[in-house]
Structure 1
Amino acid sequence: METRRRSVVKAIIWNAMGLAVMTVVGLIATGSAAIGSALAVVNTAVGLTLYVIYERIWAGISWGRHG
Structure 2
Amino acid sequence: MFLFKGLESHPRSFVKAVSWRTVGSIDTFVLGLFFSGSAKLAGAIAGTEVITKILLFYFHERAWSLVRWGHRTEEEVAEAPAPVAAA
TM-score normalised by length of structure 2: 0.71
Structure 1 gap segments, 5+ residues each: none
User: Which residue is 1:47 aligned to?
Assistant: 53
Q: Give RMSD over aligned pairs.
A: 1.1
Residue pairs, 1:21-36, within 5 angstroms: 21-36=27-42
* Distance in 1 between residues matched to 2:32 and 2:56, nearest whole Å: 21
Structure number with higher helix proportion:
1
Residue pairs, 1:4-15, within 5 angstroms: 4-15=10-21
Q: Percent identity?
A: 33
Structure 2 gap segments, 5+ residues each: 1-6, 74-87
Shift of 1:61: 2.6
Q: Where in structure 1 do 4 or more consecutive aligned residues deviate above 3 Å?
A: none
TM-score normalised by length of structure 1: 0.89
